Amino acid sequence: MPELPDIVILARSMDQALRSQSIASVAVHQSKCLNRPAEDFCQAVVSRKFQRAWQRGKWVLADLDRDWTLAFNLGMGGEVRLHRPDEVPNPRRERVVFGLDNGEQLWVHFWWFGHVHLIPLGDLNGHHQLARLGPEPLSDDLTPQRLRQMLQGKRGAIKKYLLDQSFIAGIGNVYVQDILWHARLHPLRPANTLVPADVERLHRAIRQVLGEGIRWGGGPREYDVWGNEGTYTEHLQVGYRTGEPCPACGTVVEELRVGTTTSYLCPRCQT
Ligand SMILES: [Zn+2]
């Protein structure tokens, strides 16, 4: 499932590949991924030019010249991939196919269910899912002071809040493991018991781990628009490393199952 670093990488590559290209055609093979009738959708986007692509939470936003933003959400996983003019998409696999004016194609695929929404330009707050997103963790909006205020009175486990998109946008179950390890926090630690020094460490860890994820091109089975896979897996500290030594103290990394999610932690560093 793509998380913030994966989406940043995809958005950057789309920005580079699509900027100033126009949409010549659209084929919708799964109309339920749209937020308006397919006919209206196609009419609105055909002949529009891509202005820029950027990231918000787990969404890639592509602004089109005048009037619209295309909002892509890959759900549990998927791809937005550039293809050559002579390649033929499988309509059962590709949910939406954009033809570009240079002949290339942009294929959108989800494993389960995702979204290709059309939002009036500049009106992200009018979109029910985007409007609910918490602050961007890499922006100046999220200061240690603000994070401390946000955690006040929160009695649940810290990990739960980090994964809550309305609390902070973009973090998921891959990057959260190393964030908690860098912050020296047990995933089940009640959020309101964090002292200012804990919050400072957590804030630093969020920025460091997400920044590393971007530096290594995103996580496993996450791709940019040209199909290059992320290599962050090689740089995971404790995430998905059950039985291996903690990079800081050598203690064996343990797995902790709570509900449907698994945590990976060093029992010595994260008490
Ligand atoms: Zn350790």
Write out the residue range of the structural domain in which residue 261 sits.
144-265
DSSP structural state of residue 246: P
> Last residue of a domain, which of 132, 157, 188?
132
| 203: CATH | 1.10.8.50
Cα(243) to centroid(ligand 1), Å = 12
Q: Are 28 and 38 in contact (CB under 8 A)?
A: yes
Using CA atoms, how far apart are residues 196 and 215, in angstroms rounded to an integer?
A: 28
**pTM of the shown model:** 0.96
What would the mean pLDDT of 236-244 be, rounded to a whole number? 96
If one counts the domains in the chain, the total is: 2
Do 177 and 155 share a structural domain? yes
pLDDT tens, 148-170? 999 999 999 999 999 999 999 99
Do 174 and 127 share a structural domain? no
How far is C-alpha 96 from the chain's CA centre?
Answer: 20
Cα(132) to centroid(ligand 1), Å = 36
Tokens of 88: 């033929």
Q: What is the pLDDT of residue 55?
A: 98
152 is a domain residue: yes
Q: Is pLDDT larger for residue 121 or for residue 258?
A: 121
Cα(120) to centroid(ligand 1), Å = 48
Using CA atoms, how far apart are residues 230 and 173, in angstroms rounded to an integer?
A: 16
Do 155 and 93 share a structural domain? no
Cα(262) to centroid(ligand 1), Å = 18
| 57: CATH | 3.20.190.10
Confidence of residue 259 (pLDDT cuts 50, 70, 90): confident
Cα(36) to centroid(ligand 1), Å = 50
DSSP E strand boundaries for 75-152 = 78-83, 96-100, 105-110, 115-120
Q: What is the pLDDT of residue 158?
A: 97
Q: What is the pLDDT of residue 220?
A: 86
Do 70 and 24 share a structural domain? yes
pLDDT tens, 82-100? 999 999 999 999 999 999 9
Cα(198) to centroid(ligand 1), Å = 17
Do 116 and 12 share a structural domain? yes
User: Mean pLDDT score of the chain, rounded to an integer?
Assistant: 96
CA angle 69, 70, 73 (to 5 degrees): 130
Q: What is the pLDDT of residue 112?
A: 85
138 is a domain residue: no
Residue holding tokens 């890639």?
60
Q: Are 111 and 75 in contact (CB under 8 A)?
A: yes
137 is a domain residue: no
Cα(104) to centroid(ligand 1), Å = 49
Q: For the residues of 118-146, what is the DSSP string, one character each?
A: EEETT-GGGSTTGGG----TTSTT--HHH
Cα(240) to centroid(ligand 1), Å = 15
Q: What is the pLDDT of residue 258?
A: 84
Q: What is the pLDDT of residue 169?
A: 98
pLDDT tens, 67-84? 999 999 999 999 999 999
Antiparallel, parallel or unpaired: β 254-258 and 96-100: unpaired
pLDDT tens, 189-237? 999 999 999 999 999 999 999 999 999 999 989 999 999 999 999 999 9
Cα(8) to centroid(ligand 1), Å = 30
What would the mean pLDDT of 160-185 be, rounded to a whole number? 97
Helix (H) or strand (E) holding 59: strand 59-64
pLDDT tens, 43-61? 999 999 999 999 999 999 9
